[in-house]
Structure 1
Amino acid sequence: MKKKIILFDTTLRDGEQSLKSNLNTQEKIEIALSLEEMGIDIIEVGFPMSSPNDYQTAKKISYIIKNSKLCGLARCKEKDIDLVYKSLKKSNNFRIHIFLATSPIHITTKLKTTLNKVIEKISFMIKYARKYTDDIEFSCEDGSRTPINDLCLVVKTAIDAGATTINIPDTVGYTFPQEYYNIISSLKKKVDNIDKCIISVHTHNDLGMAVGNAITAINAGARQIEGTINGIGERAGNCALEEVIMALYTRKKSMHFFTNINYQKIYHTSKIVSNICNIPLAIHKAIVGSNAFSHSSGIHQDGIIKNKKTYEILNPQDIGLNKTKINLTSKSGRAAVKYHMKLMGYKKNTYDINQLYNKFIKLADKKGQIFNYDLEALAFNSKIENSTEYYSLIYFNIQSNSNLSIATIKLKCGKLTKLEAATGLGPIDAIYKTIIKITNYNIKFIQYVLTTKNNTEESIGQVNIKMKYKKKIFHGIGLSKDIIKASVISIINCLNNIWRSDQVQKNIMKINKF
């Protein structure tokens, strides 16, 4: 029989501690609603005693969230506990989460007290909190570095006092999986009242063990996992809940556990947290990174095209993504080229795969990543490899004040030279409008990304853009010490890709006539 794993999200509390600036109330509400929609069991909305904003935000969230249980953090102090209750009392279902350090280093150097006094305080504060709710979680801060006999004594005391969930945190991310397994299994064996509570774990990623420790703890008997979306949190971060969720889902035949998660909301929630917290996802981040379902090796691509299970253990649709990405690079084989041509609707008899592949490899070695419009040009325009750029920059000037910018741009357009100017809300908008005047292209900005190389006074700005034209997405890249110039170059680069695509379509129409 499968057993349920309770998912406790602390993105709004532990996750926020890692941010350069605090989230405002509306941002926290948006994240909380997304967590609820995803099916998270318990949402830790904050530490009400830490600031008036935390208190007010928790209070507002308590009126909005209906399905997930809400939780607030409190030290072993009456005022902290009172404030958690006041902030969450309007909620249909809430928990008070109390913590106190239990390891020797914390007790002697931070608390400057003794284990016996710590135990007395734990018992008193849990009983105090019970007047507000029966749902009390107690966390043994730095529990993984607490001697096992001391930990057993603390846990037994907390359960006797009325705690219904006992959390054993690896607060500093020090513990290895086998050590964590031994801690949880020892508690199960040695604490005689352990069956009266749910064992929880809160793992940090200082040594990269957070998810591994959480999975190991489940196998040892833990039934609640605490973590954050995308693994954000103090120092190296927390256990990434999306990774635990998909590990349990993917290995469900060997791990007999389940969660109440709406899997198809995982990617959406991940992006919301990333955008609101202004923490970009690493491209190789497990489950939700942009490369998680991307394939560049020709051998891998051939396998994926024949059967996705050859190189993908997860289905991207399960987490709310549309499809697998088959990247076109110099590492790609003929199978990937044919796959992309088929996606664009071209039959095998409309092009020569050997000639196309040879051209493709030469261009990929020069350019790096190849896009579908490049493939079309290679297949149907014999001049593409040696063609000069149709659009090239002759001159540009930007003048800006506090409200508006004016861009003046002179381009060489084939054999012609064109000069235009336009006003916009900022330099990029002005450049964009001027370019439309010159080219008459009905283009739309989809994405503008600025990055810097070297991070010194001599830094080079790199601008990557995406534009939509005739239902296709085109890419452009520009490099310069002047980011405005880099922006102009990237747009012109994109324009040349659009122009070549138009020429290809004209060639295809001529071919079809004959």
Structure 2
Amino acid sequence: MSERLYIFDTTLRDGEQSPGASMTRDEKIRIAKQLEKLGVDIIEAGFAAASPGDADAIRAIAETVKDSTICSLARANERDIRAAGEAIRPANRGRIHTFIATSPIHMEKKLRMQPDAVVEAAVAAVKLAREYTDDVEFSAEDALRSEPDFLCRIFEAVIKAGARTINVPDTVGYAVPYLTTAFFRQLIEGTPNSDQVIWSAHCHNDLGMAVANSLAAVQGGARQVECTINGLGERAGNAALEEIVMAVRTRRDVFDLETRIDTTQIVPSSKLVSSITGYPVQPNKAVVGANAFAHESGIHQDGVLKHRETYEIMSAESVGWTQNKLILGKLSGRNAFRSRLQELNLLPSSEEALNNAFVCFKALADKKREIFDEDLFALFGKDSGTASENIQLVALKVTSETGTAPKATVTLRRDGIELAGEAIGAGPVDATFKAIESILQSQADLQLYSVNAITSGTDSQGEVTVRLHKAERVVNGQGADIDILIASAKAYLSALNHLAANQERAHPQL
């Protein structure tokens, strides 16, 4: 029987550190439930000491999710560990993941601690975490730039203190695959009692090798991989869960490992995370990109038609891709609508929110004859109509004619009061944003404007992503509509509402 490879998903913690990708409590719960459905072994639900909101979200996930271990990150200090321990207390299975930096540059420049003091802090942290749970993971931050002998020393100490998982992070994406394999073998062979723990890899993608390094670590003895949906994460991101899982599944001849991942839930998980975080999936992204199973070359098309395996090493259906199938229409009733949202993990938390969602669905069905799952993700993947959205679009009129500058007139509702403004811009979208700014005067800096067609056809909804920067904060906003200008206005207002939320958070790096 093949050995087990444990999948540790950190979308809700490390993935949320992507610029503008912060999530609400309800959004985190929705993703956590989908990760449970996917079959993830360990869900790192957040960093409890970051903020009261983070701790509350972890606690809510611990109360909701039953089949996955729920984990909270904690620095190697008493405050963090006690916050993590309290947050995971309701979980069927809870884990505390504590860490401290071990590379010479981090110990000297960041921690300003001597190696002996770092070992003492690590041991104390693990012992304290054991007061809350027997499942304690220890990470050596910046391990791939640390001295192997020092790592073996600190790992021996924390194993003796009660750590069950040892994580070796490539914090800055510095590693290369063949050296990663050798590094893991060296650590496992050089650490006393290494057979008493599960060895783990956590790789960043700064040089585009996160997945390759994770798989190399597996070949070196790692039996847990830390990853995120769509490779979401700080800077260039993390190792992509979908790529690791499908590589292990497709190349059993190389890895001879089993995961408990239901691969048919990979694409639904990807779509949900994309819609909630506002990070579109690039079309040529492996496994979950729109072009992942598309064949343009005539030679390839001919080969696939004759025998699929000539040019496909896995089937689209195996990862959750399906043909665009009409599932709802303008004659669909509320029960059918509710049932489909539940299947997609998009069901609102209250009946009032469900009623509002049904009204939005009917309005879309009047404009667009065929409603696909992608349309539902665009409409309801991101929480809408919440109390935090104090600025709403009431009306938008844009006039654009060859040879004249476009003009936009917009009406907004803020805190129940309607406000109107107008502006001329270089293009219709520019005019729309300037009209909104003429009212709100946010002075935010537009960093990104992206448009994506949700389905095929000229009546497809346009999904717009807007990224704004103001006062050291970066937020994403999303909007979807058949009218791309309305979608743009919705996305801009969504981002402004996120700026108004003004969340204060701490972001540790692994």
Structure 1 residues 264 and 487: alpha-carbon distance in aligned structure 2, compared to 1, 3 A threshold: closer
Structure 1 residues 463 and 313: alpha-carbon distance in aligned structure 2, compared to 1, 3 A threshold: closer
Task: Show the counterpart of 2:60.
Answer: 60
Deviations 1:249-304 (A, max 9, x none): 11113321000011110100010001101000011100000010001111111111
Q: Contact 1:463/1:487 (CA < 8 Å) preserved in 2?
A: no
Structure 1 residues 32 and 477: alpha-carbon distance in aligned structure 2, compared to 1, 3 A threshold: closer
Q: Contact 1:71/1:96 (CA < 8 Å) preserved in 2?
A: yes
Deviations 1:407-443 (A, max 9, x none): 999xxxxxxxxxxxxxx999xxxxxxxxxxxxxxxxx
In the alignment, is residue 7 of structure 1 matched against residue 3 of structure 2?
no
Task: Show the counterpart of 1:211.
Answer: 211
Offset of 1:404 from its aligned partner?
4.1
Offset of 1:147 from its aligned partner?
1.1
Offset of 1:465 from its aligned partner?
8.3
Tell me the distance in 1 between the aligned counterparts of 2:17 and 2:29: 17
Unaligned runs of 5+ in 1: 325-400, 410-423, 427-449, 468-472, 479-485, 490-514
Tell me the distance in 1 between the aligned counterparts of 2:99 and 2:275: 30
**Displaced runs of 4 or more, over 3 A:** 401-409, 459-467, 473-478, 486-489
Task: Show the counterpart of 2:394.
Answer: 403
Structure 1 residues 402 and 135: alpha-carbon distance in aligned structure 2, compared to 1, 3 A threshold: closer
Q: Contact 2:211/2:243 (CA < 8 Å) preserved in 1?
A: yes
Tell me the distance in 2 between the aligned counterparts of 1:488 and 1:258: 44
Letter in 2 for 1:300: H
Task: Show the counterpart of 2:255.
Answer: 255
Q: Contact 1:6/1:223 (CA < 8 Å) preserved in 2?
A: yes
Offset of 1:405 from its aligned partner?
5.7
Structure 1 residues 462 and 53: alpha-carbon distance in aligned structure 2, compared to 1, 3 A threshold: closer
Letter in 2 for 1:15: G
Q: Contact 2:267/2:319 (CA < 8 Å) preserved in 1?
A: yes
In the alignment, is residue 319 of structure 1 matched against residue 310 of structure 2?
no
Q: Which SS does the other structure have where 2:71 is aligned?
A: strand
Task: Show the counterpart of 2:173.
Answer: 173
Unaligned runs of 5+ in 2: 325-391, 401-409, 413-427, 431-445, 463-481, 486-510
Tell me the distance in 1 between the aligned counterparts of 2:397 and 2:152: 71
Task: Show the counterpart of 2:301.
Answer: 301
Task: Show the counterpart of 2:310.
Answer: 310
Task: Show the counterpart of 2:143.
Answer: 143
Tell me the distance in 1 between the aligned counterparts of 2:260 and 2:484: 49
Greater length-normalized contact order (CA 8 Å, ≥ 6 residues apart): 2
Letter in 2 for 1:237: G
Offset of 1:55 from its aligned partner?
0.7
What is the TM-score normalised by the length of structure 1?
Answer: 0.66
Letter in 2 for 1:292: A
Task: Show the counterpart of 2:184.
Answer: 184
Offset of 1:146 from its aligned partner?
0.5
Q: Contact 2:135/2:164 (CA < 8 Å) preserved in 1?
A: yes
What is the TM-score normalised by the length of structure 2?
Answer: 0.66
Tell me the distance in 2 between the aligned counterparts of 1:466 and 1:8: 32
Letter in 1 for 2:205: N
Task: Show the counterpart of 1:348.
Answer: none
Letter in 1 for 2:394: N
Tell me the distance in 2 between the aligned counterparts of 1:119 and 1:229: 33
Structure 1 residues 477 and 142: alpha-carbon distance in aligned structure 2, compared to 1, 3 A threshold: closer
Q: Which SS does the other structure have where 2:13 is aligned?
A: helix
Q: Which SS does the other structure have where 1:253 is aligned?
A: helix
Deviations 1:442-483 (A, max 9, x none): xxxxxxxx999xxxx9x999896868xxxxx556899xxxxx
Q: Contact 2:33/2:65 (CA < 8 Å) preserved in 1?
A: yes
Q: Where do 1:442-461 residues align within 5 Å? A: none
Structure 1 residues 297 and 78: alpha-carbon distance in aligned structure 2, compared to 1, 3 A threshold: same
Q: Contact 1:76/1:121 (CA < 8 Å) preserved in 2?
A: yes
Q: Which SS does the other structure have where 1:80 is aligned?
A: helix
Offset of 1:67 from its aligned partner?
0.5
Structure 1 residues 302 and 465: alpha-carbon distance in aligned structure 2, compared to 1, 3 A threshold: same
Offset of 1:185 from its aligned partner?
0.2
Deviations 1:363-386 (A, max 9, x none): xxxxxxxxxxxxxxxxxxxxxxxx
Offset of 1:22 from its aligned partner?
2.0
Task: Show the counterpart of 2:38.
Answer: 38
Deviations 1:154-192 (A, max 9, x none): 111111111010000000000101111111101121112
Tell me the distance in 2 between the aligned counterparts of 1:161 and 1:227: 26
Deviations 1:75-110 (A, max 9, x none): 111111111111111111100100000000000000
Task: Show the counterpart of 2:493.
Answer: none
Offset of 1:403 from its aligned partner?
3.2
Tell me the distance in 2 between the aligned counterparts of 1:94 and 1:463: 39
What is the percentage of aligned positions where both structures have the same residue? 43
Q: Which SS does the other structure have where 1:44 is aligned?
A: strand
Letter in 2 for 1:19: P
Letter in 2 for 1:301: Q
Q: Which SS does the other structure have where 1:225 is aligned?
A: strand
Q: Contact 2:171/2:204 (CA < 8 Å) preserved in 1?
A: yes
Q: Where do 1:267-346 residues align within 5 Å? A: 267-322=267-322
Task: Show the counterpart of 2:226.
Answer: 226
Offset of 1:19 from its aligned partner?
3.3
Deviations 1:318-352 (A, max 9, x none): 0111259xxxxxxxxxxxxxxxxxxxxxxxxxxxx
Structure 1 residues 403 and 235: alpha-carbon distance in aligned structure 2, compared to 1, 3 A threshold: closer
Q: Contact 1:465/1:475 (CA < 8 Å) preserved in 2?
A: no
Q: Which SS does the other structure have where 1:249 is aligned?
A: helix
Q: Where do 1:371-390 residues align within 5 Å? A: none
Q: Contact 2:455/2:461 (CA < 8 Å) preserved in 1?
A: no
Task: Show the counterpart of 2:198.
Answer: 198
Tell me the distance in 2 between the aligned counterparts of 1:265 and 1:476: 24
Structure 1 residues 298 and 209: alpha-carbon distance in aligned structure 2, compared to 1, 3 A threshold: same
More displaced 10-residue stretch of structure 1: 188-197 or 38-47: 188-197
- Count how many residue pairs are aligned between Structure 1 and Structure 2: 361
